Amino acid sequence: MGGVLLLGNGWLTRSTAANVTAELQQAACMRGEPLLIGVDQEGGIVRRLAWAPPTEAPAEMSSPSVAQEQGSAAATALHSVGIDVDFAPVVDTPSTTRSFLGSRAFSRSRFWNASMARSFVGGLQSNGVAATAKHFPGLGLASGNTDNGRIVIRAAAWKLREGLLPFRRAIQADAKLVMVSSAIYPKLDPSRLPGVYSKTIIQGLLRNTLGFKGVVVTDSLSAPAAYVVPHPATSAIAAGNDLLLFGSEGSSEWGYSTLVSDSAKYPHLRMRLAQSAARVRTLKAWLAAHGGSTCPG
């Protein structure tokens, strides 16, 4: 297990969060390696720690300097309770005011979003918390939330590529993670595989075109479009992801067991797992160098 995602709003008081992360890291260090511990702390309606910044929703942040201040304050709060990964910011660019993203997105301008993303990433990471640009290659043109159903984004490739600008700026700001969506993008990948299973999108567009060298994390593999694919964990690793997110412990255990079983059969999968493990450990080393969790000895 590479890490733990803390879900749900309300129960993560300051003392509870500190106690839970300490117990998790103590258990992890029995096998000699700390965990990544992450939350979705975007601000606004997605704010797992109700007592912690961002105090404003992304759409309410009025300038890049405010975005940096909000990111910095969020990192200080997360760091104080042992959380070292923020699955934020959302850098998608909605095409309409009716987008399901609502106030989770900075704006409907890709240029503004690019500037805000760079600043928010800088605020988080200058204070030792890894930022995550999401949801690659973009959910701004989505008709609904991928957590609730299968979403096909039929926009032309040129239109989708316009929305990559904020991701490019976040990567240039050294965002440590990029989250890939489970939407389907037929004009980017004719195979019609969800983004989390698309080598064309992950290896081709994210790695080769945008030059991202960090950790690629899936959006939830418990989502409807992702979960119906046979052996989702294996398919996601084979496509180029490094961290796999599941929305429940049961689905996570199932994903882990199938990955272990499949890795015994396929040398290429074992090679991909080694590549991903190296990237995750590089991230853990960066976090440790910035005051994050380490194991004694």
197, 235 Cβ separation under 8 angstroms:
yes
Q: What does residue 178 show for φ and ψ, rounded to 5 degrees?
A: -130, 130
Question: Residue 73's CB: how many other CB atoms inside 10 A?
Answer: 17
Q: How many residues would you count in the chain? A: 297
pLDDT on residue 8: 84
Closest CA to 130 of 86, 96, 180, 79: 86
> How many CA atoms does the CB half-sphere of 130 hold within 13 Å?
30
pLDDT on residue 249: 87
pLDDT on residue 224: 81
Q: What is the pTM of this model?
A: 0.96
Q: How far is the first Cα of the chain from the last one, in angstroms, to the nearest whole number?
A: 21
Question: Residue 96's CB: how many other CB atoms inside 10 A?
Answer: 8
2, 35 Cβ separation under 8 angstroms:
yes
Going from N- to C-terminal start, the domains of the chain cover 35-289
What's the maximum distance between 2 C-alpha atoms anywhere in the chain?
Answer: 53
Which residues of the chain fall below pLDDT 50? none
In three state form, how does the secondary structure of the chain look?
Answer: CCEEECCCCCCCCHHHHHHHHHHHHHHHHCCCCCCEEEECEEECCEECCCCCCCCCCHHHCCCHHHHHHHHHHHHHHHHHCCCCEECCCECCCCCCCCCCCHHHCCCCCHHHHHHHHHHHHHHHHCCCCEEEEEEECCCCCCCCCCCCCCCECCCCHHHHHHCCHHHHHHHHCCCCEEEECCCECCCCCCCCCEHHHCHHHHHHHHHHHCCCCCEEEECCCCCHHHHCCCCHHHHHHHHCCCECCCCCHHHHHHHHHHHHHHHCCCHHHHHHHHHHHHHHHHHHHHHHHCCCCCCCC
Structure tokens at 262: 């499949």
Residue 56 identity (one-letter amino acid) = E
**Beta carbons within 8 Å of 52's beta carbon, 6+ residues apart:** 14, 41, 74, 77, 78
Closest CA to 255 of 198, 247, 172: 247
Closest CA to 171 of 91, 51, 280: 91
164, 137 Cβ separation under 8 angstroms:
yes
Q: How far apart are CA 285 and CA 292, in angstroms?
A: 9
16, 279 Cβ separation under 8 angstroms:
no
Q: What does residue 39 show for φ and ψ, rounded to 5 degrees?
A: -145, 160
The domain at 35-289 falls in which architecture? Alpha-Beta Barrel (3.20)
